[in-house]
């Protein structure tokens, strides 16, 4: 038995879309799995990747432990990770997704007789609800498994989602500072109730922003109309509370939002990654904001990402 799995990083809480809008990016967690009588003992091999140093050791690695539990033969697990931990880019969703897929493949080996396409189509709906339950919110795990830009919800314990259009002219400028935030803590600090004004503002922004994206995607031949996208991306449900955990991110978001080149900026997930929505040539504006981190001796990485439309990939070898 030999196969490869790959899942993407994800932006979540996209603008005013708390716990519902998520997007897969072209940045990945990949594993290669091989189980064979000829393998002498179980082994975890960490392959070179930008954030492979964040991969937990075998004893506390959920993917390795799932393989140990469910694989009937000795195995070799290779992992390559480009998704930073505790930065709001869905690293735990990616690990969860891979764990669920691995468990499914190891307990139903007959699935591997399918071609990759039908295997993916079969496996995603089978694990989706369990994966959502283990996450508690659907906006990372949904794009991680299904790819694209999505709106996802949980109702009566069931997850569901729709793929959304995203205007091609917009790029995702992703800033990853060297500041870690625990999602658990970042959820605990959120208020238990909100003012009508804050909730109404988020609902209006969300509804208006999605209408703009849909309208702009339907008329690609026309110049995109992004009226007020900066205001529409604003959130009053989680972002300001969480910026208390990473104040330099607040300063950077403010500076980016002052630039005319940038359509809007938001904190991804529970932070600390910042995503600026802008045309490709906004690079020099973004670089100016990086100095705010650097002046405070905070390392930061900057990438221009595209949407990953595929989500989970499986290659049977
Ligand atoms: N929607 C989730 C939250 C994403 O804000 O807690 C966590 O990365």
Cα of 110 from ligand 1 centre, angstroms:
35
Other Cβ atoms less than 10 A from the Cβ of 242: the count is 24
Which residue out of 23, 141, 151, 186 has the highest number of ligand 1 atoms within 8 Å of its CB and is therefore the one to mutate? 186
Which residue out of 187, 237, 246, 274 has the highest number of ligand 1 atoms within 8 Å of its CB and is therefore the one to mutate? 187
C-alpha–C-alpha distance, residues 206 and 98, integer Å: 31
Which residue out of 9, 12, 273, 275 has the highest number of ligand 1 atoms within 8 Å of its CB and is therefore the one to mutate? 12
What would the pLDDT profile of 278-289 be if each residue is shown by its tens digit? Answer: 988 999 999 999
pTM: 0.94
Q: What per-residue confidence (pLDDT) applies to 219?
A: 59
Cα of 63 from ligand 1 centre, angstroms:
22
Cα of 184 from ligand 1 centre, angstroms:
9
Nearest to 147 by CA among 133, 163, 160: 163
Cα of 153 from ligand 1 centre, angstroms:
13
Nearest to 64 by CA among 90, 34, 44: 44
Sorted by sequence, the CB contacts under 8 Å of residue 271 that are 6+ apart come out as 87, 88, 179, 181, 186, 242, 243, 245, 246, 249
C-alpha–C-alpha distance, residues 212 and 104, integer Å: 39
C-alpha–C-alpha distance, residues 166 and 285, integer Å: 22
Nearest-CA residue for atom 1 of ligand 1: 19
Sorted by sequence, the CB contacts under 8 Å of residue 278 that are 6+ apart come out as 170, 171, 173, 261, 262, 263, 285, 286
55 in Cβ contact with 29 (< 8 Å): no
Q: What per-residue confidence (pLDDT) applies to 168?
A: 80
> 190 - beta bridge partners?
none
Write out residues in the chain with pLDDT < 50, as ranges: none
Sorted by sequence, the CB contacts under 8 Å of residue 200 that are 6+ apart come out as none
Q: What per-residue confidence (pLDDT) applies to 227?
A: 67
Ligand 1, atom nearest to 22 Cα: 1
What would the pLDDT profile of 29-69 be if each residue is shown by its tens digit? Answer: 999 999 998 999 999 999 999 999 999 999 999 999 999 99
Q: Is the CB of 140 under 6 A from ligand 1?
A: yes
């Amino acid at each position: 038995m030999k196969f490869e799995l790959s899942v993407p990083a994800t932006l979540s809480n996209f603008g005013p879309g708390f716990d519902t809008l998520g997007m897969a990016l072209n940045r990945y967690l990949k594993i290669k799995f091989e189980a064979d009588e000829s393998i002498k003992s179980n082994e975890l091999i960490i392959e070179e990747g930008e954030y492979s140093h964040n991969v937990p050791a075998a004893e506390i690695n959920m993917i390795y432990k799932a393989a140990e539990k469910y694989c009937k033969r000795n195995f070799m697990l290779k992992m390559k990770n480009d998704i930073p931990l505790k930065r709001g880019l869905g690293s735990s969703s990616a690990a969860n997704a891979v764990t669920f897929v691995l468990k499914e493949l190891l307990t139903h080996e007959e699935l591997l007789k399918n071609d990759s396409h039908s295997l993916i189509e079969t496996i995603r709906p089978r694990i989706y609800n369990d994966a959502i339950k283990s996450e508690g919110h659907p906006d990372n795990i949904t794009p991680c498994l299904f790819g694209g830009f999505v709106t996802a919800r949980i109702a009566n314990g069931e997850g569901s989602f729709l793929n959304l259009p995203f205007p091609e002219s917009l790029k995702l400028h992703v800033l990853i500072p060297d500041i870690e935030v625990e999602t658990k803590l970042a959820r605990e600090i959120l208020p238990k109730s909100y003012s009508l004004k804050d909730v109404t503002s988020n609902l209006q922004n969300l509804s208006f922003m999605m209408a703009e994206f849909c309208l702009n995607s339907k008329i690609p031949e026309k110049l995109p109309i992004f009226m007020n996208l900066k205001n529409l991306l604003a959130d009053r449900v989680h972002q300001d509370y969480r910026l208390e955990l990473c104040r330099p991110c607040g300063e950077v978001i403010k500076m980016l939002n002052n630039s005319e080149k940038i359509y809007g900026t938001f904190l991804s997930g529970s932070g600390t990654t910042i995503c600026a929505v802008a045309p490709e040539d906004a690079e020099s504006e973004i670089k100016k904001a990086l100095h705010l981190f650097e002046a405070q001796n905070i390392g930061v990485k900057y990438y221009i990402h595209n949407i990953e439309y595929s989500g989970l990939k499986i290659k049977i070898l």
